């Protein structure tokens, strides 16, 4: 069984690619995380949050829903992320003239 530390180290690598704007490397890193840790809700949450922060709500929702399909370990965390996403999506919609 993989330790939470291993997950965190690999997530940090993926986030580095995110902040360096290395899109292809970032996607590969998150795909590898999902393959290696398919039951970890936080892999999907972090990946989805990245898209949410970029304003790509559809892609974020797709990733969160993928986590739910795979029956991850922290289902409540994923559902909370979906709620936050919808609130932000609605808020942005209200700000648009």
User: What's the CATH code of the domain at 74?
Assistant: 1.25.40.10
> pLDDT at position 97, please?
52
Torsion angle in degrees (nearest 10) through CA of 44, 82, 78, 72: -70
User: From first to last of its 97 residues, what are the pLDDT tens digits of the chain?
Assistant: 456 777 777 777 777 777 777 778 888 988 998 998 899 999 999 999 989 988 999 999 999 999 999 989 999 999 999 999 999 999 987 765 5
pLDDT on residue 88: 94
Answering whether pTM is above 0.95, one says no
Give the pLDDT score at 76.
97
Structure confidence at residue 95 (pLDDT) = 63
Q: How far is CA 32 from CA 10, 43, 74, 87, in A?
A: 9, 10, 19, 30
Nearest of 69, 80, 85 to residue 34 by alpha carbon: 69
47: containing domain: 4-95
Per-residue confidence (pLDDT) for residue 13, from 0 to 100: 77
Domain total in the chain: 1
> In this predicted structure, what is the pLDDT of residue 6?
77
């Amino acid at each position: 069984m993989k330790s939470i530390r291993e997950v965190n180290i690999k997530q940090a690598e993926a986030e580095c690619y995110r902040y360096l704007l290395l899109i292809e490397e970032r996607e590969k890193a998150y795909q590898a995380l999902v393959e290696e840790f398919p039951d970890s809700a936080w892999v999907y949450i972090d990946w989805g949050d990245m898209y949410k922060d970029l304003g790509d709500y559809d892609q974020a929702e797709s990733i969160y829903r993928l986590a739910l399909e795979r029956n991850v370990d922290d289902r409540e965390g994923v559902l909370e992320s979906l709620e936050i996403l919808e609130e932000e999506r609605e808020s942005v919609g209200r700000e648009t003239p």
